[in-house]
Amino acid sequence: MGIPQPFDLPVYVTKPLRPSLDAYVARLTDVWNSGWYTNAGPQHQQLEAALSDRLRVRHLSLFNNATTALMAACRLFELGGEVVTTPFTFPATPHALAWQGLQPVFADIDPLTLGLDPARVEAAITGRTSAILAVHVFGMPCDVKGLQEVAQRHNLRLIYDGAHAFDVSIDGRPLGMFGDATALSFHATKLFHTAEGGALIVGNAERHVRVNLLRNFGIADETEVRLVGINGKMSELHAAFGIAVLGELDAERVKRRHVARCYRAALADCPEISFVPSDMQAGDGLQYFPIRIQRDSDAALRDKVYEGLRRFRVHARRYFYPLCSRFPDYMNLRGSAPGNLQVAEQVAQEILCLPFYGDLSGQDVTRISEMLKYLLET
Ligand SMILES: *Cc1c(COP(=O)(O)O)cnc(C)c1O
């Protein structure tokens, strides 16, 4: 095999789903004419209803991003002290806790779901623990049953960061039904997005009302401010964009499934590469295409491949390396020692997310796969 030719233009890990400009402009015209730009206007109402419908949940509140939604969940349950969470996630997960004055306590993950291992969570619980914050990483469902049992045994709240898990279900049950609350992210890099945005799903009407108060400064009416809320509102411009994006989503999912199949076929004969999840049916948010790269006695192999791909103008990403437990503000916390997080440390050293979006052609997938093979062999 010869040396692969670099791409002329950089290939990034994702390409945000782009609705037709006409569809967006038509909606913007409505917003423009109405003069109603935020505070749960018609676009907001329409998107909230459409998402509740699609995700089969009753109590979904739009937010300006997932980080605010997670912080609102902490407030909703008046959490205090420590929250057991995963180090293998985007920084927003522990940061949302820290911004609420809560201490993240990292527990190790399961080697297959890459989500929190319930036994390790249980071992991390103390008298100060108020909740568990778990992440459905790469759209792979956590062990929701195991986590629920631990939460119940210790009388803890169970919150999910579902930023990767749009449209994912477990045995036909929508993911948003599990735990006490689930936050979603609609950032531009996520599968469904509103440029910036998010949502919080809760299980009953009373909590839903409180979430909506928390999202809008706690304002109940002109004279009553019922609680310490924040500004977590999504604007009409973002909601309008989201409705336009939603119209493209099913087609994008079909295309991404095809891209995933192409990668799996092209890389099936690489002993150093394993797919995450190993089986395409095993729950997949179609938001990332993660692989693990390992060869005995070569701890630097993933980084070598990652650097090599960059030279070919392929910008794969090492989600999530380094682990959150390695950040300066978290590294000295109870639970953060690498010896306590051996599975997560190992996965962080092997993981690589390849370029993945509907517009990626079969030819590009072939080229990227050949680059990977070349880098593994040289
Ligand atoms: C993207 C992401 C977030 C943050 O979402 P924002 O909407 O950007 O605040 C949180 N958690 C995970 C796991 C993410 O990937």
DSSP letter string, 303-335: HHHHHHHHHTTB--B-TT-S-GGGSTTTTTSTT
Instruction: Give tens-digit pLDDT for 222-276.
Output: 999 999 999 999 999 999 999 999 999 999 999 999 999 999 999 999 999 999 9
In angstroms, the CA 193 to CA 65 distance is 10
Instruction: Give tens-digit pLDDT for 296-345.
Output: 879 899 999 999 999 999 999 999 999 999 999 999 999 999 999 999 99
The average pLDDT across 280-288 equals: 75
In angstroms, the CA 282 to CA 279 distance is 5
C-alpha 161, offset from chain centre: 7
pLDDT surpassing 80 at residue 281:
no
pLDDT score, position 280: 66
Length of the chain: 378
Mutate to test the pocket of ligand 1, among 187, 238, 317 (most ligand atoms within 8 A of CB): 187
Question: What tokens appear for 123 in the block?
Answer: 């071992």
pLDDT score, position 278: 81
Q: What does pLDDT average to over the chain?
A: 96
pLDDT score, position 297: 77
Mutate to test the pocket of ligand 1, among 13, 62, 64, 67 (most ligand atoms within 8 A of CB): 67
Burial call 68-106: b when 16+ CB within 10 Å, e when fewer:
bbbbbbbbbbebeebbbbbbbbbebbbbbbeebebbbbb
Distances (CA, A) of 271 to 250, 280, 314, 376: 33, 18, 22, 10
Mutate to test the pocket of ligand 1, among 133, 161, 186, 351 (most ligand atoms within 8 A of CB): 161
**Within a 13 Å sphere around the CA of 87, how many CA atoms are in the beta-carbon half?**
32
pLDDT band at 2 (very low <50, low <70, confident <90, very high): confident
The average pLDDT across 135-143 equals: 96
The DSSP secondary-structure symbol of 235 reads: P
pLDDT score, position 290: 97
| Ligand 1 midpoint to CA 73 (Å) | 14
In angstroms, the CA 52 to CA 48 distance is 6
pLDDT surpassing 90 at residue 283:
no
Question: What tokens appear for 238 in the block?
Answer: 């973002």
Q: At what angle do helices 42-55 and 236-246 cross, to 10 degrees?
A: 40
In angstroms, the CA 136 to CA 116 distance is 9
Instruction: Give tens-digit pLDDT for 44-91.
Output: 999 999 999 999 999 999 999 999 999 999 999 999 999 999 999 999
Question: CB atoms < 10 A from the CB of 317, how many?
Answer: 18
| Ligand 1 midpoint to CA 91 (Å) | 8
Ligand 1 nearest-atom number relative to CA 89:
13
Contact 128, 82 (CB under 8 A): yes
The average pLDDT across 182-186 equals: 98
C-alpha 209, offset from chain centre: 25
Ligand 1 nearest-atom number relative to CA 137:
13
pLDDT score, position 154: 98
Instruction: Give tens-digit pLDDT for 164-182.
Output: 999 999 888 999 999 999 9
| Ligand 1 midpoint to CA 81 (Å) | 23
In angstroms, the CA 108 to CA 150 distance is 15
In angstroms, the CA 255 to CA 248 distance is 11
Taking CB atoms and a 6 Å cutoff, what residues make up the pocket around ligand 1? 65-67, 89-90, 92-93, 135, 161, 163-164, 185, 187, 198
| Ligand 1 midpoint to CA 163 (Å) | 5
The DSSP secondary-structure symbol of 3 reads: P
pLDDT band at 140 (very low <50, low <70, confident <90, very high): very high
Residue with the nearest Cα to atom 10 of ligand 1?
Answer: 92
Q: Is the pTM of this model over 0.95?
A: yes
Contact 211, 72 (CB under 8 A): yes
